[in-house]
Amino acid sequence: MPRDAPSVPIDFATEPGRYRHWRLECDGAIATLTLDVDPAGGLFPGTELKLNSYDLGVDIELADAVTRLRFEHPEVRAVVVRSGKEKVFCAGANIGALAKASHAHKVNFCKFTNETRLAIEDASAHSGQRYLAALGGTAAGGGYELALACDWIMLVDDRRSAVSLPELALLGVLPGTGGLTRLTDKRRVRRDRADVFCATEEGVRGRRALDWRLVDEVVPPSAWEAAVAGRAAALGATSDRPHPLPNPPPLAGEGRVGAGAQGINLPALERRIAGDAILYPHVRVALDRARRRATISVLGPPLVPADLAGIHAEGAAFWPLALAREVDDAILHLRFNEPGLGTIVFRSQGDPEAVLASDALLDAHAGDWLVRETRLFLKRVLKRIDVTSRSLFALIEPGSCFAGSLAELVFAADRALMFDGTRAGDNRGGATLALSPLNFGAYPMGNGISRLATRFLGEPDSLERAEARIGAALGAAEAEALGLVTASHDEIDWDDEIRLMLEERASFSPDALTGLEANLRFAGPETMETRIFGRLSAWQNWIFQRPNAVGDEGALKRYGTGQRPRFDPERV
Amino acid sequence: MPRDAPSVPIDFATEPGRYRHWRLECDGAIATLTLDVDPAGGLFPGTELKLNSYDLGVDIELADAVTRLRFEHPEVRAVVVRSGKEKVFCAGANIGALAKASHAHKVNFCKFTNETRLAIEDASAHSGQRYLAALGGTAAGGGYELALACDWIMLVDDRRSAVSLPELALLGVLPGTGGLTRLTDKRRVRRDRADVFCATEEGVRGRRALDWRLVDEVVPPSAWEAAVAGRAAALGATSDRPHPLPNPPPLAGEGRVGAGAQGINLPALERRIAGDAILYPHVRVALDRARRRATISVLGPPLVPADLAGIHAEGAAFWPLALAREVDDAILHLRFNEPGLGTIVFRSQGDPEAVLASDALLDAHAGDWLVRETRLFLKRVLKRIDVTSRSLFALIEPGSCFAGSLAELVFAADRALMFDGTRAGDNRGGATLALSPLNFGAYPMGNGISRLATRFLGEPDSLERAEARIGAALGAAEAEALGLVTASHDEIDWDDEIRLMLEERASFSPDALTGLEANLRFAGPETMETRIFGRLSAWQNWIFQRPNAVGDEGALKRYGTGQRPRFDPERV
């Protein structure tokens, strides 16, 4: 548990009217996200969020804004991220909060902020919403890392404002939100310059920042506002999002322009926490603290809209979107508020045919802006599951509906077990697993390829064999023969096998499991994203655990005390 | 320092006549490496190396054998790795030794064993020496990981012998020598099967081991010896190494066959440790413990052979090879015996033209087996430098000879500083840096591309500009303009700038520097090798640092005591 934990569970639900740290303003095709942190609004008691420094609470608002911009504002083509304070863009993560946090909270905090920055890049790459970092003052540490996630970085050239990654010099840790990877891989900064930059507490400004590719543009103060507006408009012009109505006029029929240009509202999730259960309309989470596991049961679609108009009419109630939002919330809740539950078991209940019908809609209307956003949101939620440091098991049982998009939970799991045959007295028949076209590319993992392609890297024939069975209700024997599940057991063995598997898992070292899963889940290609979660984060986790950072004389502990840290000089 | 350190510095020099744990036998094109560990021959006092388990001392012999096979036995086309003990191939790393070792020793041990296994794969991929793992008994943990580094894994099907990775279940850590990465990336084992395999202490045997791609062949005991011999011959047939003389008869002239088929002897290195200096014929290491740094000065070639025959006549005395062996030994010595020296400064002294002449020979005779081995050895030594967790600086000064192959030390450095102009009273003229064709592909990093290509990922024009200046003696201004050095300073500033840079470096957290450097050095493509050092090792380092592994109730500490470990269940 956090050493100095927030007094209430961390809640990821918010909306612009409740933001304390960000302002979201939309003006036609251009939105502005203004960071203006309330110093007294920290999540940890006693921390003061000075100089636009942030903690998890600030980032929860940013993540919410990034999602809402996509669903609620189809007309927004460019987002300007700027500061509401003079002379400073953002001082990065708040060190007081970081120093007070438990190791697990630090790691989860970095993971969540990384996911939010990747969501910004995803909005630009796949959803046509471009991000402009308008640095009207110094961007330090996590502040500069936020800028690095944007498409274009403008820095005011006032002889004072700089970009910097002072973590090494000030804190004895690494930039924790992808900074090093974006320097080397996204901006391809020369390695020795990156080394100098990371060792320079005060950072780099003006011409040198441009020459070293740390920023894309430097602008004198007198030309600043005009340049920001011009650059935002230019970025927006590269977008494929719907134009704001009525200019240009809507086209007839479906598509990215026209019917879709009316955003949908994302209402607050209905969630009820009752003892050891967390209940949403489509998701039930059962917590078993004694056995250290959580079971997430997802419910299939109650109804499937008839057509695209039906999807838009349902809006946030459209089952795939509603489900994705609920699962996302549940996973984040488990990550932050239930760190002792080491295993997550996925179950499902419903009509597989309805899931396939829903998938058919998502497939047929892939070009519609709202369907696109829904698919992309599902993709991001599934990726969040992939990098969740809990053992993941899926149980495919009579009455379950792991089909198409829902079957991605099966393929995200470390193991999937399938019930073979029927249960005595259960008239729902045998368990089935079904594939849809969406299992073959709609939801790539962080490595850029689908879960099935990753699974079958060593046997491409298996991928083709699976594809040939799209739509079929696969029984246990066939699913196992196709390599889609780990094993199947009949009624005689099922309960014991599952119990033994879960007990065994709970007996292993939680740390070794985290490392094992982080390695086994991501075979195949590496991307900036997998490098951030796999390489950079692993090193940061190690550093976060070392006495040189978190010991009584370590740099994180001594930051701000006026005392210099004392380091064990031994290199590892 | 190791908690229970070996009583004398670890020495990496050995030769087959001194092996205690391996036997190397050559029979024409087939060599056999037999692991027969002397239980009393452990490096740490009081450890017993049971069941062919190994410690660093065992692996030093293996690394030596792998190198000697390449230089001393050009006729060897396949190497059979097997056990000298009944029923067990190898039980993996010795846990007693691991539990006694300091964190730094554990990490360095894993790094070295990883390098040795990658050297086996390098021998097969680039040098035509194929490796066959003949598992006549169980291969557990590091024993199976050694097999995974071979081209082909045969397992005896005696209903008892298995392959296993029991680290998770037994020790609460990960397989530390690339096992997970080779499962997912080399053998492309399906992720859920890999998960089951890693959770199964007793491992997998027989048909299932084959079906899961954990081994390549299972053979009944009665057919074992014949099958091993046949497979070794078949593997050897795919090799491009010289055939043993005289069949087929030597061809005239140079080439892989003929003159080269006579191996060269690798004599013991001449090394003298004198106080704070380590002296080799071509390398001088100065240790400054107060300032926590080591300076490695390399001397250019005293003479350059006239032709290929001259190279063969010189054998191990050929300067590039001699230098590479000395640098390799110096780096390993610093890694293991001087962990408090956080910075390595590279300097050089000699005639840059002679280095370029040596490079011209290495370039012109690339097809000769000995030249090939020499280049490949240089490549591996440079890679060892890349993954050495010390800050690396190169100083290019008047009288230095950083040219061609030696300039790779400059490009391997985190920063390179160049002296601009001449020193008063120094008649050697200004410092120069020179490129040769070998800087553009002969020595790829672990990421598969050259150091210059990695350096210039963001500016391909710079790579071309540099290539156009091959052979030129570049002064400081031009070297800096070409992006080949980090900065240059004239006589007025040089001493102060260098001193300040080194002092600043020594003030930073050693752990944060290790993480920073591990991330900044490897931009661009990822390979199995970079994943092993960057992703897998980082996770393992973290786990090695966690109380669940190394705390008093941790799994490593309690292994073998009969007491079960107690884990903090919190997931991070």
Inter-chain residue contact B565 with A516, CB threshold 8 Å: no
The pLDDT of residue B44: 86
**Residue at token pair 């990822």:** B526
**A89 and A148 Cβ atoms separated by less than 8 Å:** no
Q: Report the gap between the CA of B474 and the closest CA in chain A (Å).
A: 19
Active-site positions of B read: 145, 167
Alpha carbon dihedral B432, B438, B442, B447, in 10-degree steps, equals: 40
Residue among B340, B565, B572 whose CB faces A514 most closely: B572
Inter-chain residue contact B519 with A340, CB threshold 8 Å: no
Phi, psi of B186 (to 5 degrees): -90, -50
Mean pLDDT by runs of 10 across the 572 residues of chain B is 58 97 97 98 91 97 98 96 97 92 94 98 97 98 98 97 97 94 96 98 97 98 98 95 56 40 93 95 97 98 95 97 98 96 98 98 96 98 98 98 98 98 90 98 98 96 98 98 98 98 97 96 95 93 94 92 93 92
Mark residue A393 as left, alpha or beta (left: phi above 0; alpha: psi -120 to 50; beta: remaining).
beta
The pLDDT of residue A2: 40
Residues 6+ apart with CB under 8 A from A235: A77, A78, A130, A131, A132, A151, A152
The pLDDT of residue B260: 42
Inter-chain residue contact A572 with B510, CB threshold 8 Å: yes
Inter-chain residue contact A519 with B539, CB threshold 8 Å: yes
pLDDT: which is higher, A365 or B275: A365
Inter-chain residue contact A549 with B512, CB threshold 8 Å: yes
Task: Report which of B123, B111, B130 is spatially closest to residue B234, judged by C-alpha positions.
Answer: B130
Give per-residue pLDDT as tens, A3-18.
444 557 899 999 999 9
How many Å apart are CA A468 and CA B511, to the nearest integer? 51
Q: Report the gap between the CA of A506 and the closest CA in chain B (Å).
A: 8
Q: Report the gap between the CA of B545 and the closest CA in chain A (Å).
A: 7
Percent of chain A's residues with pLDDT above 90:
91
The pLDDT of residue B322: 98
The pLDDT of residue B249: 43
| Chain B residues with CB-CB distance to A505 below 8 A | 199
| Chain A residues with CB-CB distance to B199 below 8 A | 504-505, 508
Give per-residue pLDDT as tens, A93-127.
999 888 889 999 999 999 999 999 999 999 999 99
Q: Which of B520, B527, B568 to mutate to test the interface with A (most CBs of A within 10 A)?
A: B520
Inter-chain residue contact B454 with A570, CB threshold 8 Å: no
| Chain B residues with CB-CB distance to A525 below 8 A | 526
Residues 6+ apart with CB under 8 A from B129: B69, B70, B76, B77, B78, B79, B123, B239, B241
> Is the model's pLDDT at A391 over the cut of 50?
yes
Task: Report which of A69, A85, A71 is spatially closest to residue A31, judged by C-alpha positions.
Answer: A69
Give per-residue pLDDT as tens, A246-272.
444 444 443 443 334 689 999 999 999
Give per-residue pLDDT as tens, A269-315.
999 999 899 999 999 999 999 999 999 999 999 999 999 999 999 99
| ipTM of predicted assembly, 2 dp | 0.94
> Is the model's pLDDT at A530 over the cut of 50?
yes
The pLDDT of residue A249: 42
Q: Enumerate the H helices of A54-205 as residue ranges.
A: 56-72, 95-100, 103-127, 142-148, 179-181, 191-198
Tokens of B385: 């430098």
How many Å apart are CA A206 and CA A132, to the nearest integer? 18
Amino acid at A179: G
Q: DSSP letters of B343-381?
A: EEEEEEES-HHHHHHHHHHHHHTTTSHHHHHHHHHHHHH
Residue among B108, B521, B571 whose CB faces A510 most closely: B571
The pLDDT of residue A243: 63
The pLDDT of residue A171: 93
Q: Is the dihedral of CA A421, A427, A433, A435 positive or negative?
A: positive
How many Å apart are CA A33 and CA A555, to the nearest integer? 33
Tokens of B308: 């290929």
Residue among A187, A413, A543 whose CB faces B458 most closely: A187
**Residue at token pair 């452990």:** B42
β-pair partners for A346: A296, A394
How many Å apart are CA A199 and CA A210, to the nearest integer? 18
Tokens of A533: 């979660």
| Chain A residues with CB-CB distance to B488 below 8 A | none
Residue among B104, B213, B541 whose CB faces A570 most closely: B104
How many Å apart are CA B408 and CA B444, to the nearest integer? 10
Say how many Å lie between the first and final Cα of chain B, rounded: 28
Average pLDDT over residues A336-345: 96
Inter-chain residue contact A538 with B535, CB threshold 8 Å: yes
Active-site positions of A read: 145, 167
**B394 and B416 Cβ atoms separated by less than 8 Å:** yes
| Chain A residues with CB-CB distance to B292 below 8 A | 569
Give per-residue pLDDT as tens, A442-464.
999 999 999 999 999 999 999 99
| Chain B residues with CB-CB distance to A540 below 8 A | 515
Q: DSSP letters of B552-571?
A: TTSHHHHTTSSPPP------
State chain A's mean pLDDT as an integer.
94
How many Å apart are CA B499 and CA B503, to the nearest integer? 6
Inter-chain residue contact A195 with B167, CB threshold 8 Å: no
Enter the pTM of the model: 0.95
Residues 6+ apart with CB under 8 A from A11: none
Residue among A181, A517, A568 whose CB faces B519 most closely: A181
Kindly list the distances between the CA atom of residue B403 and the CA atoms of B379, B408, B426, B437, in Å, as whole numbers in the listed order. 16, 8, 20, 11
CB atoms within 10 A of CB A487: 17
